Amino acid sequence: MSTLQQQDPEIFNLIKQEELRQRDKIRLIASENYVSKAVMEATGSVLTNKYSEGYPGKRYYEGQQYIDQVESLAIQRAKDLFGAEHVNVQPYSGSPANLAVYLAFLNPGDTILGMALPHGGHLTHGAKVSISGKYFTAESYSLDQESGRLNYETIREKALACKPKILIAGHSAYSQVLDFPKFREIADACGALLLVDMAHFAGLVAGGAHPSPVPYADIITTTTHKSLRGPRGAMILCKQEYAAAIDKAVFPGLQGGPHNNTTAAIAVALKEASTEAFKQYAAQIVKNAQALAATLIDNGFNLVTGGTENHLMLIDLTNKGVTGKVAAKALDAAGIVLNYNAVPYDTRKPFDPSGIRLGSAAVTSRGFKEEQMVQVGKWIGAVVADPANTALQAEIASSVRQLCAGFPAPGLEHLI
Ligand SMILES: *Cc1c(COP(=O)(O)O)cnc(C)c1O
């Protein structure tokens, strides 16, 4: 980046510092990852210079000789990887992908039913502050207070009562596998389309470490930058019968020109995701999450649902007498980065809730195995037990840096 360094040292220096932060800290934010150098190169390519409103073979601008091939490759790779009938790779990110689905099938005021935000649902599943909750009649289902798990009987009752046009399955903070056949049954019983938002666990599905929603869902949305380990972007997968409605909703319904550099990087990430190495990565994500979960439970932590079947964990810190925010800030000082998060039936406010959320995708990408996860769990236990102890945080931050030095992260090879 020598040109950037000369031309804009301010931004260059900030990027360099962020590189070091990503190198030296244990990143447990469940939605984050490390993309490969190849994905980064495609993202930073001249494809950013090209406008290409429309779809391959049906564009509104000339000069699409190469762009059409890039987008067609991305689509074909996504179809092959997930076994989907139709794929749209143009949504700018996960939120607009969900909005495009609503635009395709709903009128303002129509009813959607999704997981409640404080229970692990996403903003775009009908939260009051989101356009999804303002323009549509948003109903929600909750987790069982006792088990912290989905109760499919309650979802069915709610669905039959409110008759949604779209039933949404998907989450940002739920640590168990979703029962797609059950969701299908419920959607059929109430006459709804089934939308599965697999933003968080798409990488696990791609790598065979999580059941696939493809045989059950009418439409699937996903980000490409979380466990799938691609650039920031999104895709919509659907049955052929919905292809035209989805494509029309993305463009011209919601967006203008697609971000072709991102499309190319998605294609690269999908090629990576079809390898044997990616299958191992996906399986290791789950093993790592389970190793961390077991250590945390040994250290007296209260995991919502009692464990994990995917990459993420939600911890209720109430029994530790520490708030999520205090714990997250103390852990960041100790080189362990995660986010504070509401827990189901939280009695505290969203800006200072009772829990923290952890995910294992990014550390798995840099090669952590169960042994390292056990160590991370012990550090988390020590920091949360004494969150005001800044000397301890500094000491752990130094050990974290040492551990990370042995596990060079993808995309940061030039820093070794
Ligand atoms: C992250 C996420 C999104 C939104 O993705 P953005 O790219 O941040 O807009 C949508 N749905 C779920 C379930 C998510 O976890």
Distance 413 CA to ligand 1 centre (A): 28
Determine phi and psi for 87, rounding to 5 degrees: -135, 135
Active site residue 37: no
Region at 300 (left for phi over 0; alpha for psi -120 to 50; beta for the rest): left
Rounded to an integer, the average pLDDT of 312-328 is 97
Contact 236, 88 (CB under 8 A): yes
Active site residue 53: yes
Active site residue 309: no
Q: Is 123 annotated among the ligand-binding residues?
A: yes
| Cα gap 195→199, rounded to integer Å | 12
Catalytic residue among 16, 19, 50, 51: 51
Give whole-number Cα distances, 408 to 13, 286, 360, in Å: 21, 20, 16
Q: Is the CB of 199 under 6 A from ligand 1?
A: yes
| Cα gap 329→257, rounded to integer Å | 40
147-174: pLDDT as tens digits: 999 999 999 999 999 999 999 999 999 9
Q: Is 117 annotated among the ligand-binding residues?
A: yes
pLDDT band at 83 (very low <50, low <70, confident <90, very high): very high
Rounded to an integer, the average pLDDT of 140-144 is 96
Entry field: residues in the chain = 416
Distance of CA 276 to the CA centre of its chain: 22
**215 or 350, greater pLDDT:** 215
Q: Which three-class secondary structure string do you get for 219-282?
A: EEEEECCCCCCCCCCEEEEECHHHHHHHHHHHHHHHCCCCCHHHHHHHHHHHHHHCCHHHHHHH
Q: Which three-class secondary structure string do you get for 40-97?
A: HHHHCCHHHHCCCCEECCEECCCCCCCHHHHHHHHHHHHHHHHCCCEEECCCCCHHHH
| Nearest C-alpha neighbor of 82 from the set 276, 228, 250, 263 | 228
Task: Give kind and range of the element (H or E) at residue 113.
Answer: strand 111-115
pLDDT above 80 for 340:
yes
Task: Give kind and range of the element (H or E) at residue 356.
Answer: strand 355-359
Q: Is the CB of 360 under 6 A from ligand 1?
A: no
pTM: 0.97
Going by C-beta distance under 8 Å and a sequence separation of 6 or more, which residues neighbour residue 265? 35, 39, 40, 42, 43, 230, 231, 233
pLDDT band at 416 (very low <50, low <70, confident <90, very high): confident
pLDDT band at 350 (very low <50, low <70, confident <90, very high): confident
pLDDT band at 6 (very low <50, low <70, confident <90, very high): very high
Q: Is the CB of 94 under 6 A from ligand 1?
A: yes
- Angle, CA of 38, 39 and 45, to the nearest 5°: 90
194-211: pLDDT as tens digits: 999 999 999 999 999 999
Which residue puts its alpha carbon closest to atom 15 of ligand 1? Answer: 172
pLDDT band at 1 (very low <50, low <70, confident <90, very high): confident
Going by C-beta distance under 8 Å and a sequence separation of 6 or more, which residues neighbour residue 396? 334, 335, 336, 379, 382, 383
Catalytic residue among 59, 232, 279, 369: 232
Structure token digits, residue 241: 């019968």
Active site residue 23: no
Q: Is the CB of 125 under 6 A from ligand 1?
A: no
Q: Is 254 annotated among the ligand-binding residues?
A: no
Distance 307 CA to ligand 1 centre (A): 23
Which residue puts its alpha carbon closest to atom 10 of ligand 1? Answer: 94
pLDDT above 90 for 277:
yes
pLDDT above 80 for 380:
yes
Q: What's the farthest any 2 CA atoms get from each other in the chain?
A: 63
Catalytic residue among 23, 25, 165, 226: 226
- What domains are there in the chain, each with its CATH number? 41-273 (3.40.640.10), 277-415 (3.90.1150.10)
Which residue puts its alpha carbon closest to atom 3 of ligand 1? Answer: 94
From 124, 223, 254, the mutation candidate for ligand 1 (largest count of ligand atoms within 8 A of CB) is 223
Active site residue 226: yes
pLDDT band at 101 (very low <50, low <70, confident <90, very high): very high
Distance of CA 408 to the CA centre of its chain: 22
- Asked if the bond preceding 252 is cis, omega within 30° of 0, the reply is yes
- SS3 assignment, position 330: helix
Give the pLDDT score at 139: 98
| Cα gap 73→89, rounded to integer Å | 10
Distance 126 CA to ligand 1 centre (A): 13
Pairing of strands 111-115, 166-170: parallel
Q: Is 150 annotated among the ligand-binding residues?
A: no
Active site residue 154: no
Rounded to an integer, the average pLDDT of 297-319 is 97
| Ligand 1, atom nearest to 94 Cα | 5
Distance of CA 66 to the CA centre of its chain: 30
Q: Is the CB of 31 under 6 A from ligand 1?
A: yes
230-264: pLDDT as tens digits: 999 999 999 999 999 999 999 999 999 999 999 99
Burial of 63 (0-12, 13-18, 19+ CB in 10 A): exposed
Q: Is the CB of 224 under 6 A from ligand 1?
A: no
| Cα gap 374→294, rounded to integer Å | 8
Q: How far apart are the first and last CA of the chain?
A: 16
